A and B are shown apart, each in its own frame.
Chain A
Amino acid sequence: MVEWTDFERATIQDIFSKINYEVVGPAALSRCLVVYPWTQRYFGNFGNLYNAAAIASNPLVAKHGTTILHGLDRALKNMDNIKETYSELSVLHSEKLHVDPDNFKLLSDCLTIVLAAQMGKDFTADVQGAFQKFLSVVVSALGRQYH
């Protein structure tokens, strides 16, 4: 089981209580699609992903970005059992969506950077550490049911 310090728990809850899901989610996903263009393979039916501007203004990308970010709410509410919490989603990503689990890390990195841009000085090294630990636990749980 993952051990969380009080600082880590408080930091994660605090971050998510303050972010605007409809801004951060789309920003993270569209950034991922631009910085790591091979991730576009999973969104063939999303329409125009031709360039960064198209991606940034694509409503399907925006909607999906928000959905993904809300997916993290499950971990937020079950920090002491993230492994089990994502078991179903892990199977979905593996068997139905066929997402290379390496992509989870790419999206995590983009989310970290979007948060850093938004929080500026408040995104201290310790806050970054806590946030990245949280994301890496979710990423690990999402990759668990791949066989």
Chain B
Amino acid sequence: MSLNETDKAVVRDVWAKISKSSDAIGTDAVGRLLTVYPQSKIYFSHWADLSPGSGPVAAHGKKVMKGIGLAVSKIDNLTDGLLDLSEKHAFQMRVDPANYKLLNHCILVVIASMHPKEFTPEAHCALDKFLTALALALSEKYR
């Protein structure tokens, strides 16, 4: 299920349209992750406030979307492009890769709610493929 040229074009196109609201998207997505999948909270036990829209949640949402922006720019070779982030997630943070699927879903839900017209089934498909490939690249260094 690798990304073809059409997928990449769609991803770049959608990202161009939504990237100005990327902070808001990130905050909302991380907030939803913690609410809808409470098991994900274990990775953030060091935060003072885990409620949606809180400082730490917003800051982390921003970080996540920065990573996604990076991935869009490295879309032709996600594995190499995300090597550093993969090492961080594998060795420092030790995030169970199952969680990437959960966050991906939340990101898609947020994009759907904020940009319903752009989020056509075709755009949804390309983005889902992209986020799945991103998660795979992020898991590259795990074992």
Residues of A within 8 A of B (CB): 30-31, 34-35, 52, 55-56, 109, 112-114, 116-121, 123, 125-126, 128-129, 132
Contacts and interface: CB of A to CB of B under 8 A. Distances in A.
B114 A35 contact: no
Nearest to A123: B113
Given A34-B125, A35-B121, A128 B108 contact: no
A52 B120 CA distance: 9
B109 A116 contact: yes
- 9 shortest interchain CB distances as A-B pairs: A117-B116, A34-B121, A125-B35, A116-B113, A116-B112, A117-B112, A125-B32, A35-B125, A129-B36
Given A109-B105, A116-B109, A120-B116, A52 B122 contact: yes
Task: Give the size range of B's interface with the partner.
Answer: 20 to 34
A126 B113 contact: no
A56 B120 CA distance: 11
Interface string B105-141: 1001110111010011110110010000000000000
A47 to B, nearest CB: 18
Nearest to B115: A117
Interface string B42-83: 000000000010000000000000000000000000000000
A56 B109 CA distance: 20
B105 A125 contact: no
Contacts of A125: 28, 31-32, 35-36, 52
B16 to A, nearest CB: 20
Contacts of A112: 105, 109
Nearest to A109: B105
B118 to A, nearest CB: 10
Max count, chain A CB within 10 A of own CB: residue among B110, B119, B121: B121
Given A128-B32, A128-B36, A121 B113 contact: yes
Given A34-B122, A52-B122, A119 B35 contact: no
